[in-house]
Every structure is written in C-alpha cells, then in structure tokens.
Amino acid sequence: MTRQEERELAKRLVAEIRLLADQADHKLRFMEVCGTHTVAIFRAGIRQMLPENVELVSGPGCPVCVTPDDYMDKAIAYAQQPDVIITTFGDMLKVPGSKSSLNEAKTNGADIRIVYSPMDSLQVARENPDKKIVFLAVGFETTAPTAAATVLAAEQQGITNLYMLSAQKLVPPVMEALLNDEEVHVDGFILPGHVSVVTGTGIYEPIVEKYHVPGVVTGFEPVQILRALYRLVKQAVGHEARVENEYEDVVRPDGNPVSRQITDTVYEPADTNWRGMGCVPISWTAHERSLCAL
C-alpha cells in the first residue's frame, strides 16, 4: 500500500468512526494500554483526527514509567557497592529514585553497563567472576521470557554470580485495577501488540466478559490503530463487548506457548508496586528455585 493509499484509507476510517460515534449516547473514551501505541498515536496526530465525542487516554503501558521509587533506590544502592556491576537497558539510567538516579550513580563511579539483552549479562558475569552482576529485569510480558531464559542459561552454565533485580509487570491485572477504580471510566481498550504476541488474545477474555468492556489488539501503524478504533466504536455503540484481533499476522489466540512456559518456570505471581498507582495485584517476582536472593 502506497502512502497516498494509506492516507485515503485513514480518511475513510475517520469518516466511518465519526458516523458510528454520532450514534453513541455519551462521549466515548478508549485507553491505549501500550506505551508504544501512545507514541504512535502522538506521532500520527490521531487524537486530532477523531470526532469530539471520541477521546483517547493513555494507560500505564510504559515499563520504565511505572517502575517505582523503591525499586530504583534498591538498584542505586546495589550500584554503589564496590563488588557489584549493574547491567541494564539504557532507558533506566534517567528514571528517578527518591533522591538520585542510576545516571548520577554512574557519574559518581558506579560500574553500570548498558546491555541490549539480558543474555549480555552472562558474558559480563563470566568476565568478572569476583563481582556480583545485577541485571535490572524491568518490563512486561514481552521482555520477561528473555530474562527468564537468561536465568535458565545461567543455571545450565553454572554461573553463580548473576542476579536479577526483578520488576516485571503483567498487563491484565492493571487493566482490572483501572476498571475497579471509580474515578476511571473507559469504554474499551486498544490492547498491546507486542505483549499479545506472547500472551495471545485469550488472556483478555475474562476481563472483557466480567466488565463488559471491549478490547482490540492492534499493531502500531496509524491505519492499524484507526481500524482498532473503528472496531471499538462499533462495539461500544452496539453495546457489545468482545476481544477482537486487528493484528492477526503477528498475534495468535494462544500467543507463544514456549515463551509463556519459560516465564512460568522462573516467575510466580505476586502483588507489586507501580509508580503512580501503588500496589497492584498481581505482577511477577523471582521464583526461589531459579534466582539468587540478593
């Protein structure tokens, strides 16, 4: 599809959304759960395209943004220990703790190394046997399988100086927490594409059925997002609620069973804190069998 064809299709979708939204008996509010969707919506100017009675609100879908102060304070405290090397994704450096940041700790001499995969920490651990290597395992269902696979690889290779400071999060529980909040009102969810590759679409079914709120999984191109919005508006106007998949080329109903199995081997459910939201049941914590306790 050419750029011009995409523009024409986007215009038709916006017109269809407008026609459907005119039938609604209240202003429709939809939440994009994923931070990547938020960025894509902003860049494409999708909010400005929509009719006045259709509103988009951003959900808590950025793992860096929801990592709480106390987690960052722990990471900074470990970084300041002389026998510790922190490995982390680069976007964690500027996340504030209660008094400082990893970037500040690095400036003050802490050994903090940027990696592009948790697996990179294995090599750091092999090259520094006299150090404790602490990987900051932050993310959602998308990154958890790789972190879990790193734990299993370390176990298999006999690496004993690699640790995980885990702050993995689950998407469905926070969706339910939002729906249980009397101050939050949404008529449907734009469901995350990357997360759904791992989880599949079935994981959202219980929430949709319980709260009668529709959800559509979609990709990150403007036309894909507009198609998802069209489906959501159509369901909302028709007082329907089901999970639909606008990302079928990538997302399957059962997701990626192998990734889920690896994750379930290493992680177990637990309540956890989210920055700006407090304690949300349920996220992940390190499984005692697989991870060392710091």
Q: Where are the alpha helices (DSSP H) in 143-278?
A: 144-157, 171-179, 193-199, 205-211, 222-237, 257-266
In this prediction, residue 65 carries a pLDDT of 86
**Tally of residues, the chain:** 294
State the pairing for strand pair 267-274/278-286.
antiparallel
Fold of domain 69-168+256-286: Rossmann fold (3.40.50)
d(CA 33, CA 278): 17
**pLDDT value at position 269?**
84
Q: Which pLDDT belongs to residue 294?
A: 38
pLDDT in tens, 157-198: 999 999 999 988 999 999 999 999 988 899 999 999 999 999
285: confidence class by pLDDT, cuts 50, 70, 90 = low
Look at residue 283 in the predicted model and tell me its pLDDT: 62
Are 73 and 98 a contacting pair, CB within 8 Å?
A: yes
The mean pLDDT of 117-140, rounded to a whole number, is 97
* 3-63+171-245: CATH topology: Rossmann fold (3.40.50)
Angle at 64 between CA 61 and CA 66, to 5 degrees: 60
**What is the reported pLDDT for 284?**
60
What is the CA 193 to chain-centroid distance, rounded? 10
Whether the link from the prior residue into 190 is cis, omega within 30° of 0, is no
With contact defined as beta carbons under 8 Å apart, do 89 and 62 qualify? no
Is the fold of 3-63+171-245 the same as that of 69-168+256-286? Answer: yes
- The domains of the chain are located at 3-63+171-245, 69-168+256-286
Sign (positive or negative) of CA dihedral 214, 215, 216, 221: positive
Q: pLDDT band at 291, cuts 50/70/90?
A: very low
Task: Specify the residue for token string 């690699």.
Answer: 162
Query: pTM value?
Result: 0.89
Secondary structure of residue 108 in the 3-state scheme:
coil
Average pLDDT, the chain: 92
Confidence at residue 268, expressed as pLDDT on a 0 to 100 scale: 86
As a whole-number percent, the residues of the chain with pLDDT over 90 amount to 84
Rounded CA gap, 207 and 169, in Å?
17
Give 199-227 pLDDT, tens digit per residue.
Answer: 999 999 999 999 999 999 999 999 999 99
Instruction: Please check the confidence at residue 272 and state whether its pLDDT lies above 60.
Output: yes
State how far the alpha carbon of 32 is from the alpha carbons of 22, 98, 118, 223, 286, in Å.
22, 28, 27, 15, 28
pLDDT tens digits, 220-266:
999 999 999 999 999 999 999 999 999 999 999 999 999 999 999 99
Please list the residues that pair with 190 across neighbouring strands: 32, 216
Confidence class for position 292, pLDDT limits 50, 70, 90: very low
Q: Is the pLDDT of residue 288 over 80?
A: no
Look-up: residue for tokens 């038709």?
Answer: 12
